[in-house]
Amino acid sequence: MGDEAVERTVLKISGTDAHKFLQDLVTNNLDKEGLIYAALLTPQGKYLFDFFLLENDGYYLLDVKSDRAAALAGRLTMYRLRADVVIEDSGLQVQRGLGATPEGAHADPRHTALGWRVYGAHADEKADINWDAIRVAHCIPETGIELIPDETYILEAGFERLNGVDFKKGCYVGQEISARMKHKTELRKGLALVEVNGFAPVGTPITSDGKPAGVLYTQADGKGIAYLRFNRAKGDLSAGEAIVHLSAA
Closest listed residue to residue 61, CA positions, set 118, 13, 116: 13
Collapsing DSSP states into helix, strand and coil, what is residue 70? helix
Band of the pLDDT at 4, cuts 50, 70, 90? Answer: very low
pLDDT of residue 3: 43
User: Residue 39's Cα: distance from chain center in Å?
Assistant: 7
CA distances from 95 to 9, 53, 98, 106, 108 (A): 11, 15, 11, 11, 12
Tell me the per-residue pLDDT of 93-136, one tens digit each, with 9 for 90 and over: 999 999 999 999 999 999 999 999 999 987 665 668 999 999 99
Tell me the per-residue pLDDT of 44-63, one tens digit each, with 9 for 90 and over: 999 999 999 999 989 999 99
Tell me the per-residue pLDDT of 172-230, one tens digit each, with 9 for 90 and over: 999 999 998 888 768 899 999 999 999 999 999 999 999 999 999 999 999 999 999 99
Flag whether pLDDT at 249 surpasses 70.
Answer: no
Residue extent(s) of CATH 3.30.1360.120 domains in the chain? 8-182
Residues in contact with 212: Cβ distance below 8 Å, sequence separation at least 6, in sequence order: 205, 206, 229, 232
Topology classification of domain 8-182: Gyrase A; domain 2 (3.30.1360)
Band of the pLDDT at 159, cuts 50, 70, 90? Answer: very high
